[in-house]
Amino acid sequence: MHVRTLVRSATATLAMTLALAGGQAVAAPSPAGDRALAPRVLTYDASASAEFKSAVDRGAAIWNESVDGVELRPVATGRRADIRILADNGWPRALPTTLGNGIVYIGRQAVVQGYDTVRISAHELGHILGLPDRKPGPCSSLMSGSSAGTACKNPYPNAAERAEVERDFGGVSVRTAEGPRDVVTAD
């Protein structure tokens, strides 16, 4: 009478094992061959982000926790970063150049209004990672940005947002032919 329970338990264990294996860089690419073995590393320079430095580091860490295809790392001293993060008195915004490259401004105007600095940081980094704004939207969406209101402090991308970044960065043939974007993405 315990057979079914045991089978279910064994299946659950197997699924967990597979999930764990899937979370690591395994020896061979998937059968589809569409998965890079290691995350694409993007460096960021938060040395000019003033009082937002820790929020920026937290925003980057959240992306690292959330996706496998890309990893954000502080740039080494004296090296040029893929992403520059600056503090200023305007509205927060991102100026992506190519996928994974660009400048982020953590604007004090939104902070003064009460918006959460970690959510702002993760949101703007989301633009650098290729995500557009999704406004208006709920607090569960990172890219709903300011439309979710100042009470919203969620700094995590939702499943769809994570999947979009994984698609952009997870493939062997990462989009390299993409030209510079001339769109200034505010907030």
- Residues with catalytic roles: 124
How far is the CA of 187 from the CAs of 4, 45, 84, 113, 147, in angstroms? Answer: 53, 19, 16, 13, 10
Q: Which stretch binds Zn ion (CB under 5 A): 15-23, 54-62, 75-83, 130-138?
A: 130-138
Shorter beta-carbon distance to Zn ion: residue 145 or 155: 145
Site string for Zn ion, 70-89 (x = CB under 5 A): --------------------
Task: Tell me whether residue 41 is exposed, middle or buried, using C-beta atoms within 10 angstroms of its C-beta: 0 to 12, 13 to 18, 19 or more.
Answer: exposed
Shorter beta-carbon distance to Zn ion: residue 130 or 145: 145
Shorter beta-carbon distance to Zn ion: residue 35 or 93: 93
57 binds Zn ion (CB under 5 A): no
Q: Which stretch binds Zn ion (CB under 5 A): 44-52, 114-122, 128-136, 157-165?
A: 128-136
Q: Which of 45, 116, 133, 161 binds Zn ion (CB under 5 A)?
A: 133
| Min dist. Cβ of residue 123 to Zn ion (A) | 6
**Residues 142-181 within binding reach of Zn ion (CB under 5 A):** 145
Site string for Zn ion, 83-122 (x = CB under 5 A): ----------------------------------------
Shorter beta-carbon distance to Zn ion: residue 35 or 118: 118
Q: Which stretch binds Zn ion (CB under 5 A): 34-42, 100-108, 131-139, 175-183?
A: 131-139
Place of tokens 């996928």: 99
Query: CB–CB of 101/65 below 8 Å?
Result: no
- Strands of the sheet with 93-96, listed across from one edge: 70-74, 40-48, 83-88, 102-107, 93-96, 185-186
From CA 169, how far away is CA 76, in angstroms rounded? 22
Residues at the contact surface with Zn ion, assessed by CB under 5 A:
133, 145, 187
